[in-house]
Structure 1
Amino acid sequence: MKISVPLTTDGYLPDKYSKYSAIKRAGQPVVSFPIKITDVPERTECLALSLIDYDAVPRTGFPFIHWLATNLPVQSITEDFSSVFEGPQGMNTWASRFYGVDDEYVISHYTGPMPPEKPHRYTLTIYALSQVVNVKDKFFYNDFRDELAGKILTKTELIVNARD
């Protein structure tokens, strides 16, 4: 399985999907970027994804989850998919009591990269699953991992850079 996302000529995620987006909610960029997916295994019933910022660890003490979603259709993911997808999306790190964000939409949909002091690398992982995952909307990362166990046919990761 192969994945790709649009990048600027200097290799960064375009501004409209990250810190410099003109479309924000509770101060967070909320327009998700498109993901081109090819060579999906034949037995794939659905896809799942995670977008995690491991470069946040020195600043926050933990990786920052920007997007979790599962039971995605077996096709490429269009721009702003997070806002229209009716399947389960998980809680991102803005749901943490350490941040105090009380916007239900923001904490349970895509929120784009906001690197504070230098560019960050975001790990986008797409999972091809052999069966639909049994989670409800607003699930947490631990539930996501538990439910994916034994269902992953293959997974592919892509590092997506975002400028500060």
Structure 2
Amino acid sequence: MQLTSPAFAHDSSIPARYTCDGDNINPPLVIAGVPEQAVSLVLIMDDPDVPSHLRADGMWDHWVVYNIPPGVRTVAENSEPPGVPGQGTAGNRKYYGPCPPDREHRYFFKLFALDCELELAAGASKAQVEEAMAGHIMAQAELMGRYDRRNR
């Protein structure tokens, strides 16, 4: 399975348009190679580089969407994929763009193909989604982008 974006390459800079310094909209995403037997998809975007004085676990969850239909092949710029919105660290239920407070951070867009739909109400946390999908992951893909507000 693959997750790519026409807006930036893996391990390269995320354009400011998709951050708190720009329009704070999601970048376009392209999904390929979803297993035919997949029942649902999960999309998570997180930042593991948060200073420990802000978050003890060093993690910020920017975007969580689950029970995405397995036939979805694109997420258009400035749109939410069909599915159930989870809740990010800021209490958001939609995309929340990069906004690192100190230096360059890495942002991981993670896609999971599951053999089931998750029995979770809207607004579930990333931790709840990860717990529910344990043992149900058929395939996964990752796209990582970087952003540093000092270089915009």
Q: TM-score range by the shorter chain?
A: 0.7 to 0.9
**Pairwise CA distance, 1:36:** 0.9
**Pairwise CA distance, 1:13:** 1.1
Structure 2's unaligned 5+ residue stretches are none
Structure 1: how far apart are the matches of 2:111 and 2:43? 5
Matched, 1:77 2:75: yes
**Pairwise CA distance, 1:19:** 2.5
SS of 2:41's partner is strand
Matched, 1:41 2:35: yes
For the structure 1 residues 54 and 118, does the alpha-carbon distance in structure 2 shift closer, same or farther, using more than 3 Å as the test? same
Structure 2: how far apart are the matches of 1:142 and 1:91? 10
Question: Could you say which structure has the higher helix fraction?
Answer: 1
For the structure 1 residues 144 and 14, does the alpha-carbon distance in structure 2 shift closer, same or farther, using more than 3 Å as the test? same
CA RMSD of aligned residues (A): 1.9
* Seq. identity, %: 25
Q: What TM-score does the superposition give when structure 1 sets the normalisation length?
A: 0.78
Aligned ranges 1:52-91 → 2 under 5 Å: 52-60=46-54, 61-62=56-57, 63-74=59-70, 75-82=73-80, 85=81, 87-91=83-87
SS of 1:33's partner is coil
**Pairwise CA distance, 1:112:** 0.3
**Pairwise CA distance, 1:122:** 0.9
Structure 2: how far apart are the matches of 1:57 and 1:87? 31
The letter of the residue matching 1:76 is T
Structure 2: how far apart are the matches of 1:68 and 1:86? 12
Q: What TM-score does the superposition give when structure 2 sets the normalisation length?
A: 0.84
User: How many residue pairs end up in the alignment?
Assistant: 143
List structure 1 segments (4+ residues) > 6 angstroms apart after TM superposition.
none
Question: Could you say which structure has the higher strand fraction?
Answer: 2
Q: Is the 8 A contact 1:19 1:115 kept in 2?
A: no
Structure 1's unaligned 5+ residue stretches are 24-28, 96-106
Structure 1: how far apart are the matches of 2:33 and 2:51? 33
Residue in 2 that maps onto 1:4: 4
SS of 2:102's partner is coil
Residue in 2 that maps onto 1:93: 89
Matched, 1:153 2:138: yes
